[in-house]
Structure 1
Amino acid sequence: MVNGVTVHLIRHEKTDANLKRKYIGWTDEPIVEQVEFSPFVQSEFIYGSDLIRCQQTANGYFPEATFIAHKQLRELNFGDFEMKTYEQLQHDPIYRAWIDDPYNVTPPNGEDFEQFKQRVISAFMEIVEAQQNYIFVVHGGVIRVLLSQLASEEKMFQQVMAQHRMVYTLHWDSLEDLKGGARCTSYSEAHITENMRM
């Protein structure tokens, strides 16, 4: 039996929208380059968003594992800001207000931040139900929500970064600690490389 719960969070590989610095939420865009790594941690199952960029990344990183898709693990729905850049939006007063206060301002036709946070946390808690290792291949916003709520150091969403080709690892000594709302007991970040082993 595994001692405690370990969760690895990985952001999907880049899409064309990522390269062009567009807000990409629910747009189902593929990754620009299929990358294959030797699996750096072993797991029978990989959990992630149902959008293709997460599935393609999981297949490249963990070709032998089964990918289990969850719509609840999607990125924030950016509404009218979807697939637009900062340069296109910078003079929009609603956009400016949203950038300054994403907790209380919602993108037009988009998703309220509290709803986004609650669906992500709820899905995470439903999936993590045993003392074992878990791997999630998800979106930058999803990782930022989880780290702001669960990482050992308390930070606000806006203070947390989630980069491509990084693995964010959280560990709890027991499932009860995690389910009880405790922050993780240890946390680490590492670059993902072809020769990486964990």
Structure 2
Amino acid sequence: MKSYVIHILRAMPSQGTLEGRYVGRAQSPLPMGAVSELAGLKREYRYPEGELYCASPAVSCVDTLKILYPKAEPEVVLELAECDFGDWENRTAEELKDEPGFKEWLMGRGAPPGGESGQVFFRRVCGGFQLLVKNMMARGCASAVLVTHAGVMTSILAAFGLPKGEPQDWLCDPGFGYSLRITPMLWMREPVAEVFARVPEEKEGKI
């Protein structure tokens, strides 16, 4: 039976993220340093190809994908957006330290005013990934590349990845990620995916 492969890559950090801001729905571009770093990674590593190229809606994710795959026509997956930080959007921890509920939220309790709790974010992301898999199967696309945020990536891998692990176990540097293999018969019985490789691979002959 046909299997499906999804390569999940972590996007480069946006300018707002580097400033320590909670950037969820705001559009914060890639700084030139991140662009240069990604170009260097592309020279040193071999990035996997796919029949389908997808990204979270943030400009940092779409631009990371376009730099790595200039000929790709990325499809945006809205359900795989970063967490909605509500009233705390684009603010730093220093600015929020005295806000009611902020310390509790950092410990995994509650939600930003007007935003998503960790549980709501996790359920949304899992639903978005299942929708992506469903669309791949319906379209007969055997492989895909997904560029997304660290939190989205680690949520997907913690929910569906084999071997099993906690979200923090799947953290990786920007520009790197994992390859997942999905077997339809197993997926229909229990939605799990084999994590079979880290990506990208070093190019041969690299000094």
Same fold per superposition (TM over 0.5): yes
TM-score normalised by L of structure 2:
0.79
Tell me, in whole angstroms, the C-alpha distance in 1 between the residues paired with 2:185 and 2:29: 37
- Flag the 1:186–1:144 CA change in 2: closer, same or farther, 3 A: closer
Which of the numbers 148, 151, 162 marks the counterpart of 1:152? Answer: 162
Q: Which residue of 2 aligns with 1:176?
A: 185
Stretch of structure 1 that moved more, 71-80 or 177-186? 177-186
Deviation at 1:25, TM superposition (A): 0.7
Higher helix share: 2
In the TM superposition, what are the counterparts of 1:26-175 in structure 2 within 5 Å? 26-33=25-32, 34=35, 35-36=38-39, 37=42, 40-101=47-108, 104-128=109-133, 129-130=136-137, 132-157=142-167, 160-172=170-182, 174-175=183-184
CA deviation vs aligned residue, 1:148-174 (integer Å, no higher than 9, x gap): 1012233344554253121222223x1
Q: Are the counterparts in 1 of residues 47 and 200 from structure 2 also a CA contact under 8 Å?
A: no
Deviation at 1:55, TM superposition (A): 1.2
Q: Does 1:185 align with 2:190?
A: no
CA deviation vs aligned residue, 1:15-60 (integer Å, no higher than 9, x gap): 1112112211111111113344366212232111222111111110
Q: How many residues align?
A: 191
TM-score normalised by L of structure 1:
0.82
Q: Secondary structure at the match of 1:105?
A: coil
Percent identity reads 21
Q: Match for 1:22: what amino acid?
A: R
Tell me, in whole angstroms, the C-alpha distance in 1 between the residues paired with 2:200 and 2:51: 22
Q: Are the counterparts in 2 of residues 167 and 192 from structure 1 also a CA contact under 8 Å?
A: no
Q: Are the counterparts in 2 of residues 43 and 133 from structure 1 also a CA contact under 8 Å?
A: yes
Tell me, in whole angstroms, the C-alpha distance in 2 between the residues paired with 1:191 and 1:96: 37
Give the gaps of 5 or more residues in structure 1. none
Q: Are the counterparts in 1 of residues 7 and 48 from structure 2 also a CA contact under 8 Å?
A: no
Tell me, in whole angstroms, the C-alpha distance in 2 between the residues paired with 1:151 and 1:187: 10
